[in-house]
Amino acid sequence: MKKSIYLFATLALLFIGFTSCDSDDDAVVIVEPDPVDQTIVLEGDLETQTLSKDGNYLIRGQVFVRDGETLTIEPGTILKGEKSTKGTLIIDRGGKLIADGTLQEPIVMTSELGPGQRDRGDWGGIVVLGRAKTNQIDPEIEGITPAVVFGGDDDDDDSGIMRYLRVEFAGIELTPNNETNSITMGGVGNGTVLEYAMVSYGGDDGFEWFGGSNDGKYLIAHGMWDDDFDVDFGYSGRNQYGLAVRYASLADQSGSNGFECDNGPDDNVTALLTTGVFSNFTVLGPRLTSGQSISGNFQHAMDLRRRVAVTIANSVFVGFPRGLRMRQNSVYENYTAGTGVLFNNIMSAPTQTFQTGGDHTEQDVEDYWAANQNEVSTDTDFETYYSGLGLRDEMFFGNVPNNQFPSNPNYAVTTGELTSGADFSISQLDSFFDTVDYIGAFGATDWTDGWAEFDPIGAEY
C-alpha cells in the first residue's frame, strides 16, 4: 500500500511539474522531482510560485526571478544550493522574493552537502537587484553571466521581504574581483524588507550593498571569508543592530575587514556618495587573547576608501589587529566636513590603531576619532578589557577549535560599559533608529535566540 501511495505522489508531482511549463523554452523552469528523494529542482527562469516547507528544493545553476514574477517561500522552508553548478538565486529588477520566515520557523538556504561536509562557497547565494539609485551608469552585478544590469531612479522600489532568513555556505569567487556574496544587493530600494537575516561561512562577503537605499535591522555575519559588511556605488540605506563574529583561520588573501566601505571603483567625484548609516553594531574579530594566532589576512575593523562617507555610530569593534583606516584624502575630507560621521563608537586595535593612505597623518585620523565621542583602547590584556565592556568568552569564535561550535551562544549584555552611553543626537540618526541606551547590538535581550544557528556545519536539515 505504501508503495502505491509513493508511486501516485511521484506521478502527481511530475504532472504538476510538466503542466506548469510555458511554451517559451528560454523562460521556463520545469519543476521536476527526483524519483528517489522527491527533490524539486529549481533552474532557469521561475514563474510566480510558492515553495512549501514540506518540499525539498535544490537551486541548480543561475536561477532567476524576472520582472513581474514573485517567488514566495513559506516559513520553515529549506532550500539547498547545488555545489557542482554553483547554484545561485537571482531576483532581477522588477522581480520579488517573499522570504518571510518567523522566529519559530526561519527560512534556511544552505549547502546541499550533509553535516560535517559543508564548507564556505558551496553555492552562490542570493542576489537581489532593484531600481533604486546608484552612482554608476548601468552597473552590472558581479558574478552573473550573462551580465545583468541593476539600479535606476526609484529609491522606493520594492524587491520583497527577507526576514528570519539564514543563508549558509554561500558566495563564491569566480575570478579575482568577480564574486557573489552570501547576500548581494544591487540598487535595492527601501520598499524592501531586510530583518533578522543571518549569513554564515560565506565564500566572500557577508552582506554587500551596491548602491540602493534599502534599510535593515538585526543582521548577523558569522564566519565570513572576506568582509562582514561591504558598501559601494552610492548606498544610502540605514541599518541598526548588527553582529559580526570571526574565526581565527578564516580570512581572504585580499584582506578581511569588519566594514569595507567604498564610493566606487575609483576615487572619482560622483553626484551621489555612499552615505549609508549604521548604528548599534557589534563586530567581534578573531582575536580573544594576546597570544592567540590568527590569519595574517585579517586587516581592519573599518576600512574606509575612495570618497566614501558612511556614518557608523554607537558600535563596538574588538578583536581585529588594526582599527580604522581612511585610505584616501577624499575620505578624511568627507569626515572632517561632516558628510559622514564616525560617532560614539568603541574600538580596540592594539597592533595598529589608525592608518591613512593620503597626505593626512595617522595623528589626524586619531584626532578626528577623539573629537567625535569615540573611544579607543590599545590594551593587550584583551580578556580583561572585553569583560569590562560586558563581552564574554562564549561570544567569540576565534578561540573555538574546529567543529566544536556552540549552537546558540548568549549575546545579551547586562553588565559593563556597553550597557549605557548610546547617543542619537546627530542628524544622520533619524526616526528609523530606535533610541536605546546601549552601545553595540545587544542590551539585556539576545535577539539571535530562537532563529539563528551558529553551528550550521553540524546542523541536521
Tens-place pLDDT, residues 18-32: 333 343 444 434 445
Whether residue 217 is contained in a domain is answered as yes
Which of the four pLDDT bands, split at 50, 70 and 90, describes residue 401? Answer: low
Tens-place pLDDT, residues 190-234: 999 999 999 999 888 899 999 999 999 999 999 887 889 999 999
Tens-place pLDDT, residues 411-452: 999 999 999 999 999 999 999 999 999 999 999 999 999 999
Helices 362-371 and 329-336 sit at what angle, rounded to 10 degrees? 20
Omega before 146 within 30 of 0, i.e. cis: yes
Please check whether residue 356 is in contact with residue 362, taking contact to mean a CB–CB distance below 8 angstroms.
Answer: yes
Please provide the average confidence, as pLDDT, over all residues in the chain.
87
How much of the chain exceeds pLDDT 90, in percent? Answer: 66
CA pair distance 310, 342, nearest whole angstrom: 8
Whether residue 424 is contained in a domain is answered as no
Q: Can you give the CATH number for the domain in which 335 is found? A: 2.160.20
pLDDT at 453 > cutoff 60: yes
CA pair distance 93, 68, nearest whole angstrom: 9
Whether residue 452 is contained in a domain is answered as no
Going through 223-345 in order, the beta strands assigned E by DSSP cover 229-232, 238-245, 259-261, 277-284, 300-304, 311-313, 316-318, 322-326, 342-343
Confidence at residue 316, expressed as pLDDT on a 0 to 100 scale: 97
Which of the four pLDDT bands, split at 50, 70 and 90, describes residue 408? Answer: confident
The total number of structural domains in the chain stands at 1
- Give the position of cell 566544536: 404
pLDDT at 404 > cutoff 70: no
Confidence at residue 23, expressed as pLDDT on a 0 to 100 scale: 37
Which of the four pLDDT bands, split at 50, 70 and 90, describes residue 34? Answer: low
CA pair distance 24, 41, nearest whole angstrom: 19
Whether residue 444 is contained in a domain is answered as no
* pTM strictly above 0.75: yes
- The lowest-confidence range among 222-236, 252-266, 267-281 is 252-266
DSSP class of residue 390 equals T
Please check whether residue 263 is in contact with residue 224, taking contact to mean a CB–CB distance below 8 angstroms.
Answer: no
pLDDT at 333 > cutoff 60: yes
Whether residue 50 is contained in a domain is answered as yes
CA pair distance 352, 125, nearest whole angstrom: 34
Tell me which residue range forms the domain holding 371: 22-419
Whether residue 434 is contained in a domain is answered as no
Helix/strand/coil percentages in the chain, nearest 5:
10, 30, 60
Tens-place pLDDT, residues 123-159: 999 999 999 999 999 999 988 888 899 999 999 999 9
Whether residue 180 is contained in a domain is answered as yes
Whether residue 384 is contained in a domain is answered as yes
The more confident residue out of 73 and 142 is 73
